[in-house]
Structure 1
Amino acid sequence: MEFRPVTKKGATKENVAPASPSKVGLLVVKTANQTIEDAKLQAIPNALCGNFWYEGEVSILFADTNVGKSILSVQIADMISRGDARGVFGCQAKAQYILYLDFELSDKQFEKRYSVDYQKHYLWDKRFLRVKINTAFTDFDDFEKQLFFEIENLLVETSIKILVVDNITYLKMQSTESGKEAMPLMKHLTRLKHQFGLSLLVIAHTPKRLNPSSPLTFNDLAGSKQLSNFADSIFCIGRSNQEPDLRYVKQLKARSCAVSEEVWVCRLEKQHNFLGFNFLETNFEQNHLKPKNEAKNELMEQVSKLRDDHPDWPYQKIADEAGTNKMNVKRILDRLKL
């Protein structure tokens, strides 16, 4: 007969291992030692993009419009398809197929970016698969549901384990700037990660920044709280105040390494037929931000011009256009007596 320890009502059972679950459910219970033993059987995650993104992670890259987030994400995808380990954005994993969902550029725009005046085109690795929306078949009752359905079918058919989504706004018909819309989207992406063993890079945007002299933070990510909670790693791109073509890449969140206190300074340039980020040095973000007085004067000039051009606009409309808040607009106009 199996021995069963007897305990008094309310007493704690000591040294009794929990029974193994009889069926698969929501919760899985195992000892910490068993967790380690199971983890030993899994491969150590390789870096897909330097310290910014590792295998098995949902990573978010965000930036303002026209800063270069699509350019960097294509560069990352190209290096993954080749297994190119060089540089700060290098891929330590073996060369492998990657699905790049490009909802930003037309085919002709893509050709122009990676050619010399539509000649002498850049030659991509065959593992780089670019996915576009078929504009002839977008009249569905539920566009989002159909889009995710076809993405899942692609993953099943190809067995590809790396997915880049450029950008997140095309996965939701509503804005993802609110947590209410961002949370179910991130839950869906996280489910895909676990279901297919994916590594996901999601490109997102930032609303107009209230203060360009302040460092980039989670608050600059649209839908920041919900998106950042579900992501394994987050990095972003800022525009340097030193030169027009300088950018810096900043790490905000990481689970596979320590978050750097410095940023990676790059020059956005086209070398022959490839537009990309050329790493220059590491530096401190503060050295690339606008001085506070300069940013303040620029905002005052912008608000003043908007009031002159649109005298009937309310404070909120001016604030939205200037990338600030209503109270700042009121203070500036009161000071200028406009």
Structure 2
Amino acid sequence: MKTPEKLYKSLVFEKELTILCADTGIGKSVFAVQIAEDIARTGRTVLYLDLELSDKQFEGRYSDNYTNHYVFSDNLIRADFDPDNYTVPDGVTYEDYFIESLVGLIGDWGATVVVIDNMTALISTDTDGAKNAKPLMDRLNQLKKELGITILALEHTRKTDFGRPITLNDMQGSKMKGNFADAVFTIGRSAKDKNLRYVKQLKCRSAEVEYDADNVLLYEVAKDSNFLCFKPLGFSTEYEQLQQPSDDDKTTRIERARELKDQGMSIRDIAAQLGLSKSTVSRILK
């Protein structure tokens, strides 16, 4: 079998189902459009299913005050969905009708990569419980295998404070979505500046996790004339981007780290539990 090909760094692999999860208003759609455009520039046809923005809102992001529009790749196809202008045929569920419509679009355009922004519109109920999440993930995995396509699906996370690292457990609703995905990555908001973001991998089946808490991707949300995007700034640790604890909090964390070590916990597990980098935990214990 062919070795899985990276489509965007080690975040998105060919013919896999990947979830990008982040809090509301943090820039999921901005980063997803950037990923879609980057992949489309390689010659692959990308279908971007935009279930969030109106045409005018999208135009505002990718133009200079609605003039001097950014010219996207011809291989990037954006489709939207009007919730007030469709009728589900008798005897067909909303979920089946939506998937059938999506399959039709994929066939019409010959898309090999599909970005779904976001997952909540795929079913008529919420995606929070395992009862609803499992059938949804089963359908997406079935679609991936039958059509041989790559899927990047966007999902929300719960509200998290600036002092705690993001984990798979923070994904909105059932953790089952993460269990059934091939890969999961997230976007965190830096406590240092309102325009700084970091990208962290939470799961990757095709390779080692490259961008973990000790090596997150650092970006600045900026608009260069007519393209709103994540501008790369290099690498950082997640801990450096979190809200730094007070002296009392630091003392408590040091004591807690020592207690966990005495209980036989590894440095990696202590770091994950306390929201510290492995190097920081190692330094504390030394």
After TM superposition, the score normalised by the length of structure 1 is: 0.69
For residues 192-230 of structure 1, give each alpha carbon's deviation from its aligned partner in whole angstroms, at most 9, with x where no partner exists. 011000100000001222x43110000111134211111
Residue aligning to 1:44: 3
Give the distance between the partners of 1:47 and 1:183, measured in 2 at CA. 26
Residue aligning to 2:73: 125
Residue aligning to 2:143: 192
Pairwise mapping of residues 16-95 of structure 1 onto structure 2 (< 5 A)? 39=1, 43-83=2-42, 95=43
Q: 1:250 aligns with which of 187, 194, 200?
A: 200
Give the distance between the partners of 2:86 and 2:163, measured in 1 at CA. 41
Assess if the C-alpha contact under 8 Å between 1:63 and 1:204 holds in 2. yes
Q: 1:221 aligns with which of 162, 171, 176?
A: 171
| Secondary structure of the structure 2 residue equivalent to 1:137 | coil
Assess if the C-alpha contact under 8 Å between 1:218 and 1:224 holds in 2. no
Residue aligning to 1:202: 153
Deviation at 1:176, TM superposition (A): 1.1
| Secondary structure of the structure 1 residue equivalent to 2:175 | helix
Residue aligning to 1:108: 56
Give the distance between the partners of 1:77 and 1:51, measured in 2 at CA. 15
Give the distance between the partners of 1:224 and 1:289, measured in 2 at CA. 25
Deviation at 1:154, TM superposition (A): 1.9
Q: CA RMSD in A?
A: 1.7
| Secondary structure of the structure 1 residue equivalent to 2:220 | strand
More strand by proportion, 1 or 2?
2
Deviation at 1:45, TM superposition (A): 2.4
Give the aligned length. 242
Unaligned runs of 5+ residues in structure 2 are: 250-286
Task: Tell me which structure has the larger Cα radius of gyration.
Answer: 1
Deviation at 1:44, TM superposition (A): 2.8
Change over 3 Å in CA distance of 1:115–1:269 after alignment to 2: same
Give the distance between the partners of 1:159 and 1:121, measured in 2 at CA. 26
| Match status 1:285 vs 2:238 | yes
Assess if the C-alpha contact under 8 Å between 1:178 and 1:222 holds in 2. no
Residue aligning to 1:268: 221
| Match status 1:165 vs 2:113 | no
Deviation at 1:143, TM superposition (A): 2.5
Assess if the C-alpha contact under 8 Å between 2:127 and 2:174 holds in 1. no
Give the distance between the partners of 2:196 and 2:146, measured in 1 at CA. 39
After TM superposition, the score normalised by the length of structure 2 is: 0.81
Q: 2:47 aligns with which of 96, 99, 119?
A: 99
Assess if the C-alpha contact under 8 Å between 1:67 and 1:239 holds in 2. yes
Identity of aligned residues (%): 39
In the alignment, residue 194 of structure 1 is paired with which amino acid?
A: K
